[in-house]
Amino acid sequence: MTPDSITLLQAHPEVLAEACATYSPGGELRLVEQLRRLYDADVVTAAVTQASLRHRAVAKFGKDDAARMYFTPDGLEQSTRSAVAEHRAHRIATTLPEASLLDLGCGIGGDLITAARAGLRVTGVERDPATAAAARANLAALDLPGEVILGDAEEQDVTPYDVVFADPARRADGRRVFDHNAYSPPWTFITQLLTRTACVKVAPGIPHDAVPDGVEAEWVSDAGEVKEAALWSGKLSGDVERRATLLPSGATVDTAPEAEVGPVGQYIYEPDGAVVRAGLVTAVAAAVGGWLLDPRIAYVTGPFLVGTPLASTYEVIETLPYREKVLKSWVRGEDIGTLEIKKRGVDLDPAALRKKLAPKGSTEATLIVTRIGRDAVAYSCRRVTAPAG
């Protein structure tokens, strides 16, 4: 997509509407041929490309917004899921109502949209012309106030704004970058931003010791999948160093009490990934009245079935030696056909192990493989839903 492509689509909404109405995955070429009988080739190509992007965008932005927004391939790929962006915008707006927010590297405007809806006064900065055009078009399409400036994040004067938000690029040469020192803008620029009131979105693998002093790090998951870490500074920082927040429930935890270590109980609790990333596993032990299986492994166990949004729950049926022959016998003896394999602390490929065990029966089971001390151990389990409590 180019700025001209978006302008072209805005000038010919009927072509885009028809492309979206008749689009189906895999049918792009046929749709292009069909529409070219009626419309100019350039607008048809842009419309079918946009229809494809809108179809993919539903998972992140929901059906209603995706049907009205404009996307670029990279902009869609790098944008924040709306539920996570809404959580972040709500936190900013609750702390600083009607604040002015500068979004450095705003992409297609996903965060601008949620911030504007939360009552913040938004300005976006984006250096890619096509992406900036999409951001402007999205604010207009959704009837939201705000502006988008074409420019480089590092060259902007941030002093007039109450809050600065940044989502540094974590890709180079088309590949995902995991080292925070390779972000763009660079980490030195990010740490300077964090000396004022700011929020910076970073990858969930950010090392704890990379977070500057006085900055709160919040790991956020959505539907059990860890999506990001957000660094909060200045007036937005809480009184804690680390926090885990789980969406859509909104459950949050920020302390890690002491926890004992002991043998497996009747239930095993698998903490949500955000809790694990934040280093707050012992909070799960406190929530369920349990203990750790191993001090270095993120599994909690206990004697009672206790409801907690912080973890998934499994009832332990049997403890098994971690030996392929034994596990094959167990699979056959229990007539297992659907086998979920969970693992932590062991060098194991669940898909490869499942292939070796060859479950072909009619029942379902979960196999949890972990390490206790130096020894690998397996637990035959069944997933359970604990009552709220």
Sort residue 223 into left (φ over 0), alpha (ψ -120 to 50) or beta: left
pLDDT band per the 50, 70, 90 thresholds, residue 171: low
pLDDT in tens, 86-98: 999 999 999 999 9
pLDDT band per the 50, 70, 90 thresholds, residue 1: confident
The torsion angles phi and psi of 233, rounded to 5 degrees, stand at: -135, 170
pLDDT in tens, 178-195: 678 778 889 999 999 999
CB atoms inside a 10 Å sphere around CB 51: 22
Whole-prediction pTM value? 0.91
The CA distance from 37 to 59, in Å, is 32
Q: Is the pLDDT of residue 301 over 70?
A: yes
pLDDT score, position 239:
87
The CA distance from 123 to 106, in Å, is 9
Query: ∠202-222-279 over CA atoms, to 5°?
Result: 60
The torsion angles phi and psi of 174, rounded to 5 degrees, stand at: 80, 5
Query: CATH top-level class for 77-247?
Result: alpha beta
The CA distance from 59 to 50, in Å, is 15
